[in-house]
Amino acid sequence: MATIELQRVEKKFGDLHAVKPIDLTIHDGEFVVLLGPSGCGKTTTLRMISGLEAVTGGRILLNNRDVTWAHPSERDIAFVFQFFALYSHMSVRQNIAFPLQAQGESRETIRQRVAEVARLLEIGHVLEAKPGSLSGGDRQRVALARALVRRPAAFLMDEPLGALDAEFRETMRAEIKRLHIEQHATSVYVTHDQIEAMAMGDRIVVMSDAVVQQVGTPAQVYHDPANLFVARFIGSPGMNLLTGHYAGGTVRVRENMTYQVPGDWVPALDRALDGEGEVILGFRPEAAAVNSEGLPATVYATDLLGGYTMLHLEIGDHEIVHARAGRETHYSIGTPVRFALDPAMVRFFDPKTEKAIVREVTA
Amino acid sequence: MSDVALQNITKRFKDVTALDDVSFSIKDGEFFVLLGPTGAGKTTTLRVLAGLEKPDAGAVLFDGVNITDFTPADRDVAFVFQQYSLYPTRTVYQNLAFPLRSPLRKWPKDRIDRRVKEVAEKLRITHLLERKTANLSGGEMQRVSLGRALVRSPRVFLMDEPLSNLDAKLREALRIELQHLQKTERSTTLFVTHDQVEALTMADRIAVLNQGRIVQIGTPDDIYDRPVTTFVAQLVGIPRINLLPATRENGTLLVEDSALRLGLPEGPTVPPRFLLGIRPEDVRLGAGGDQRGEVVLTEPLGVETVIHIQSGKQTVLSIVPGITALKIGDTISFSIVRERLHCFDLDGARL
Amino acid sequence: MFGLDIPLPDFWIVYFFLFWVLVGATTGPVIFRHKGYPALLGIVVGAGGGVISGALFMLLLVAFKPIADLLDRPMLGVLISIALSAAIILALLTFARRFVPEAARETTPEVAAAGGPRAPVTYSARVDKVHPTWQSLQAIRASVVAMLAALTLIPVIWMAMTAFKSYPDAVASPPKVAFDPTMEGVITLLTRRRQMTDAQKAEYELREDLNWADRVMLKSGQAILGQSDYVKRLRNSLIIASISTVLSVTLGLLSAYAFSRFRVPGKGDLLFFILSTRMLPPVVVTIPIFLMYRELGWYDTHGGLIALYTAFNLSFSVWLLKGFIDEIPKEYEEAALVDGYTRLQAFIRIVIPEAVTGIAATTVFCFIFAWNEYAFALMLTADKARTAPPHIPSMVGSGLVEWAAIAAGSLFFLIPVVIVTFALRKYLLRGVTFGAIRQG
């Protein structure tokens, strides 16, 4: 359907740099997620792609056509808003037909397309109702139908699941993704929820403070975060990060806590830190196994979730480490425990640059 | 801290019945969670407890004493609102001190000062004391709201979805802190939420509320492993429980519109047509499985992946650890753990 | 003017000339900024273009006059001239940049090449709202508004000038714009005088204890006897307006809070009833009220007028304040209730500080109404409680009308309200739009 290319696109509000220059290529049929906390610039970037916000610099290309200054209606994109933006005085059918009427399509075409889209999204039974009487999930389906009916080159979605109840969010998430696959639609999706991003994205663009932190597949951003921000932001809870002193193949986190660095990491650390220095050790909760050997800690809190237990361990001074354990694990607060780390899942970061230390792949 | 009991509380607003014969009790020091969708009546329950609404029928008891007619001030409860709880034109210090300055208390100035600093220390907001609350971030504001409640040492804490308006990351961090605080202080807390993760992780016991009625009361394990209705079963669990229409034929279970066949589970007798509930973690993928299906969607969440499997017209969700190599369109075999099946009749009640 | 036969009065010539300069000075920077030049340059060039346009406008008027006379359509010439000079000024601005040296340009080549504005758009705007033409139109619109505002102020300025004119200047025809100011009018307003005969005047001149005011009135042969009633009237106005405002705002605040927070039976009906008192022109009920007041013995008392103004302001006050209090989340008071405060304490400590802007807006409106009220003040007062509005026109006697004194009286009457309104203008905007538009 469409390739979207952003070339050094940036946005400034006076002196405030809302979006620093971005280079991004979205391939035909790809589902790209712009992910980040509030204020990181993801919504502004989406709005620049749509034309609702004028760029301060750079170019936007849609199918190799320069659309940087094209009117939003000339860009052949559909925008889905967080708060649905449905016309409350019109019926669902009229809402969906509206974009086609604006384009001047014939009545027959409109009728056909509305029926098609309503069948696709299973809202045929509410076509005559007003949006105000529908549930949140149904309203979002109507908003999606309105976007779909135009058969645009690309879909831009601004946190469409944000206004829905938790139960709807899961089902709508899968629905949107399945719709995307069936329609082969190029989509750009904005969210602050990293679970949504991981579940839906073909590629995720992690942003923070107007800057792109990392672009990668869910697997890449999860297992190989490029810097500390991505490591903390992705995953619930985020990656555990312990600061320590590296020397001679071990990292000393605390007086009584020394971690033996796995052999294949030693050359990389030696090179990055010039033999010794401060380093940050990172590992995901599933990499930490609570047993009788390993690093010492005290239980701070326990989350007994249906399928597993999340242990929050205090290693001293308000510093919490999260470890994932089986369902049957029950610890009371204050119990001293030990935990060991899976050597394949540890990562290291340079505290000065906040970037990940890269381990060379040995053939 | 007190025991709290609600007995047969009914509350109507014009022609809408917000609460219908609601009864439950909270033990001293317990973290009790009221879980339910929007509009279930959770906030109304809290407000009846606080004295901000008068029930049309029923009684509220603190330590066995009927306090239904007491004013909010006399009940000595602390209320943490979802939003709009802080006065924006006042500093954090003034907001924290406000409850202590009420005429009911008559505390001397230095005692107020000490208590405010103590609570600020506990919530790690001492550095914000002189700032106007309008200039705080969302997480800081909620900590100050909690501080306002803590500062008084009331008999009961009532919290109305205090974490709902926060960013996902902030919610996690504050949730853990709240858990730790409650467990160490042993304060009687009634916590209202629509988020089942919050409910499962923090509660000693949970009451599920739907359309003004209590559906089930129990520990998180009870709610998760033995839901009494399909509503409760679908409310907890990420991803949601698979709920499939099924029929019984001789000794086997057939899931309608699909190729799934299972042996009957032990336990109560099952009517000819019923609803089958399977938790995604009980759908085990593997070559030795006796069921077959096609992968229609994969949702990688990092720590695990949700697989949507299609069999006939039905979709079954399964969850596998880590990242999977499965692609859309792959045929896979899987098995279902028979001991952990849930059976419900067509009305949704547990069999 | 300038020896040319321009078919417009002098005033309008100056007015239109200034208008063209303003249009040029506001659209110039917009266009220049988008072409990549500094805004200041745009202002200078735009103003220059405006001057040229204005002059051309005059010349065109003269040129078209014979045709207009022929067709017997005087305004035709004016309209064509406006249209032509508008076209000329825009053309001037567009071509003006050719004469600016290259060095003055600030531009980003990538943006320029893509067809957008030459200067970066560092504010929030949709792409189609960024085009210089659209923005220039907005600037022209602003200029029109500014000139209309200036036009609206002219009567007030004229009144202020008249207050300091001597009698001949005040009644001069054609009206005098330039004049020698004198305090005659002011003194006439504030004093009682006696006309002296020539003999008394000669005697008077020799006195030692004459102050500056005496000397001024001496010129027209009048001796000052003492203070006039004006100051007393002004003081009455102040007392009555202030007290009635305080009362209506206080009572209104308490009622509005009750309507907003409590379940009052028949609330909708009561609110409508309160609003309905606003639906008739107050003048309609002057006679019945006059009769009532006479029976009660409230005729010509301060209390009578205060009660009346309070009653009329209450409806407005309740409605406006209810709107503001509705905006304050009731969780604020509920938190206080739960903490141990009584509802009254919660009201005083929380609601009132949060509603301060609403209270300010309501106060200003109530004050303005009570201050300017004329009909009831005229009918229900005689001497003791008479306020300024009925008093000022009463100086229009038969024979010589003291225009300067009347102007001075109106001016002094105007000043307190202007000061109060200007000081609280931020709150007024919120009040007028019921808080829908957030200002400052």
Res. C104: pLDDT tops 60: no
Q: What is the DSSP letter of A358?
A: P
Evaluate if residue C131 carries a pLDDT over 80. no
- Report chain C residues whose CB lies below 8 A from the CB of B87: 332, 350, 354
Report in angstroms the alpha-carbon separations of C174 from C10, C166, C168, C178.
Answer: 11, 15, 12, 12
Task: Inform me whether the pLDDT recorded for C88 exceeds 50.
Answer: yes
Q: Which residues pair with B319 in a beta bridge?
A: B306
Q: At what angle do helices C74-96 and C10-35 cross, to 10 degrees?
A: 30
Domain C231-432 has CATH 1.10.3720.10: yes
Tokens representing A45 are 């970037």
- The whole-angstrom separation of Cα B109 and Cα B100 is 10
Phi, psi of C117 (to 5 degrees): -65, 150
Q: Would the pLDDT of C115 be above 70?
A: no
Ranges under pLDDT 70 in chain B:
84
Please tell me which of the candidates A38, A167, A312 has its beta carbon nearest to residue B167.
Answer: A38
pLDDT for residue C97: 59
Question: Average pLDDT, stretch A45-64?
Answer: 92
Select from A248, A180, A246 the least CA-distant residue to A31: A180
Distance from CA of B187 to the nearest CA of C (A): 17
Cβ(B319)–Cβ(B305) below 8 Å: yes
Return the pLDDT at C310.
Answer: 94
Residue A13 forms contact with C (CB below 8 Å): yes
Q: Which residues pair with B156 in a beta bridge?
A: B77
Q: What are residue C324's DSSP bridge partners?
A: none
Neighbours of chain C (3+ CB pairs under 8 A): A, B
**Domain boundary assignment for chain A:** 4-227, 237-349
Binary contact (A13, C111; C-beta < 8 A): no
Which of A202-206, B276-280, C352-356 has the largest mean confidence? A202-206
Q: Which of C337, C345, C350 sits opposite B87 (nearest CB)?
A: C350
Question: What is the rounded radius of gyration, in angstroms, for the C-alpha atoms of chain B?
Answer: 24
Asked whether the beta carbons of residue A54 and residue C110 sit closer than 8 angstroms, the reply is: no
The whole-number pLDDT of residue C440 equals 32
What CATH number does domain A237-349 carry, 1.20.1440.230, 2.40.50.140, 3.40.50.10860, 3.40.50.300? 2.40.50.140
The number of angstroms, rounded, from the C-alpha of A122 to the middle of its chain's C-alpha atoms is: 27
Nearest by CB to residue C108, choosing from A52, A53, A57, is A57
Q: C329 contacts in B (CB within 8 Å)?
A: 83-84
Of A34-38, C108-112, C221-225, C410-414, the range with the lowest mean pLDDT is: C108-112
The 8-class DSSP code of residue B229 comes to B
Q: Confidence class of residue A362 from pLDDT cuts 50, 70 and 90? A: low
Q: What is the layout of strands, in order, in the sheet containing A65-66?
A: A16-26, A4-13, A57-62, A65-66
pLDDT above 70 as % of chain C: 89
Q: What is the rounded CA–CA span in Å between residue B291 and residue B296?
A: 16
C339 to chain B, closest Cα gap in Å: 5
Q: Quote the tokens at residue B191.
A: 């916590």
Instruction: State yes or no: pLDDT of C191 exceeds 50.
Output: yes
**C130 Cα to chain A: minimum distance (Å):** 7
| Distant-in-sequence, close-in-space partners of A253: CB < 8 Å, separation ≥ 6 | A242, A243, A244, A259, A281, A295, A315
How many C-beta atoms lie closer than 10 Å to residue B79's C-beta? 27
Find out whether C230 and C391 touch, Cβ atoms under 8 Å: yes
From the list B46, B43, B49, the residue with the least C-alpha distance to B68 is B49
What Å distances lie between residue A154 and A1, A21, A177, B126, CA to CA? 7, 22, 14, 49
C147 Cβ neighbours under 8 A, 6+ residues apart: C15, C18, C19, C22
For strand B156-160 and strand B77-80, is the pairing parallel, antiparallel, or unpaired? parallel
Q: Which pLDDT does position C103 carry in this prediction? A: 46
Residue type, A145: A
Question: Going along chain A, which residue ranges are E strands?
Answer: 4-13, 16-26, 31-35, 57-62, 65-66, 77-80, 154-158, 186-191, 203-208, 211-216, 240-247, 250-254, 257-260, 276-283, 288-291, 295-304, 309-314, 320-325, 336-341, 347-349
Structural fold of domain A4-227: Rossmann fold (3.40.50)
Tell me the chain B residues in contact with residue C331 when contact means C-beta distances shorter than 8 Å.
Answer: 81, 83-85
| CB burial string B53-78: b at 16+ within 10 A, e below | bebeebebbbeeeebeeeebbebbbb
**Residue A363: is its pLDDT beyond 50?**
no
The per-residue pLDDT of chain B, averaged, comes to 87
Sign of CA pseudo-dihedral B227, B228, B229, B232: negative
**pLDDT score for C41:** 84
- The pLDDT score that the predictor gives to residue C346 is 87
Which of C339, C349, C351 is the best residue to mutate to test the B interface, defined by the most B CB atoms within 10 Å of its own CB?
C339
Q: Contact at 8 Å (CB) between C230 and C190?
A: yes
Of C424, C408, C404, which is closest to residue C165 (Cα–Cα)?
Answer: C404
Two tokens, residue B301: 């969440």
Say whether residue B328 is in contact with chain A using an 8 A CB cutoff.
Answer: yes
- Chain B residues with CB under 8 Å of A194 CB are 168
Interface of C with A in 116-145 (CB under 8 A): 116, 120-130
pLDDT at C102 over 70: no
pLDDT class of C438 with cuts at 50, 70, 90: very low
∠ CA(C172), CA(C177), CA(C181), 5° rounding? 85
* Residue of chain C whose Cα is closest to the Cα of B47: C334
Which of A69, A77, A79 should we substitute to test contact with C (largest number of C Cβ atoms within 10 Å)?
Answer: A69
What is the pTM (predicted TM-score) of this model? 0.78
Which subunits count as partners of chain A given 3+ CB pairs below 8 Å? B, C
pLDDT of residue C436: 47
CA-wise closest residue to C83 among C41, C53, C49:
C53
Q: How far is A302 from chain B (nearest CA, A)?
A: 7
Segment 314-373 of chain C within 8 Å of chain B by CB: 329, 331-332, 334-342, 345, 350, 353-354
Name the interface residues of A facing B (CB cutoff 8 Å). 37-38, 165-167, 170-171, 173-174, 177-178, 181, 192-195, 198-200, 218-219, 222-223, 232-238, 284-286, 300-301, 303-307, 310, 312, 320, 324, 333
Highest mean pLDDT among A223-227, C12-16, C112-116: A223-227
Cβ separation C121–A58 shorter than 8 A: no
Please say if the pLDDT value at position A255 is more than 90: no
Contact C172, C162 (CB under 8 A): no
Within an 8 Å CB–CB cutoff, is residue C174 touching chain B? no
Instruction: Sort out which chain B residues have CB atoms less than 8 A from A159's CB and list them.
Output: none
Nearest residue to A244 via CA among A222, A266, A272, A277 = A277
Mean pLDDT, all residues of chain A: 89
Residue C339 has its nearest CB partner, among B81, B84, B98, at B98
Of the partner residues C335, C337, C354, the one whose CB lies closest to the CB of residue B85: C335
Chain B residue with the nearest C-alpha to that of C332: B85
Given A165, A199, A285, which is nearest B194 (Cβ)? A165
Residues C21-79: tens digit of each pLDDT? 888 888 888 877 776 677 888 888 888 888 888 888 888 888 887 877 777 777 777 78
Is the pLDDT at C437 greater than 50, yes or no?
Answer: no
What digits encode the pLDDT tens for the residues C387-403? 999 888 887 666 778 88
CB contacts of C128 in chain A (<8 Å) are 51, 71-72
CA distances C27 to B46, C40, C49, Å, are 60, 12, 11
Statement: residue A194 has pLDDT above 60: yes
Cα nearest neighbour of C334 on chain B: B52
Please tell me the distance from the alpha carbon of residue B223 to that of residue B320, in angstroms, as a whole number: 23
Distance CA B91, CA C332 (A): 15
Contacts of B44 in chain C (CB under 8 A): none
The pLDDT-based confidence of A301 (bands split at 50, 70, 90) is confident
Q: Which two tokens stand for residue B136?
A: 């705080």
Provide the 3-class DSSP secondary structure of residue B347: coil
**Between B138 and C115, whose confidence is greater?**
B138
User: Left, alpha or beta for B286 (phi > 0: left; psi -120 to 50: alpha)?
Assistant: left
Q: Tell me the shortest Cα–Cα distance from B82 to chain C, in angstroms.
A: 9
- Identity of the highest mean pLDDT range in A314-318, B158-162, C423-427: B158-162
Note whether B317 and B239 are within 8 A (CB). yes
Residues 6+ apart with CB under 8 A from C391: C229, C230, C233, C409
C198 in contact with chain A, both atoms CB, cutoff 8 A? no
Contacts of C125 in chain A (CB under 8 A): 53-54
Determine contact, residues A85/A143, Cβ cutoff 8 Å.
yes
> How near does any CA of chain B get to the CA of A227, in Å?
17
pLDDT per position as a tens digit, C329-339: 888 888 888 88
Best of A135, A178, A299, A303 to disrupt the B interface (most B CBs within 10 Å) is: A303
Q: What's phi and psi for A334, nearest 5 deg?
A: 105, -10
| Cα B59 off chain centre by | 24
- Ordered structural domains, chain B, with CATH: 4-228 (3.40.50.300), 242-344 (2.40.50.140)
Reported confidence tier of residue A278, pLDDT bands at 50, 70, 90: very high
More confident of the two residues A91 and C435: A91
Nearest CA in chain B to C330: B84
Cβ-defined contact of C128 to A71 (cutoff 8 Å): yes
Chain A to chain B Cβ contacts (< 8 Å): 105
Nearest to C345 among B52, B79, B103 (CB): B103
pLDDT reported for residue B137: 79
pLDDT band at C433 (very low <50, low <70, confident <90, very high): low
Q: Which of B50, B73, B77 sits opposite C341 (nearest CB)?
A: B73
Per-window interface: B 178-237 vs A, CB < 8 A: 179-180, 183-184, 194-197, 200-201, 220-221, 224, 234-237
Q: Which residues on chain C are in Cβ contact (under 8 Å) with A51? A: 126-128
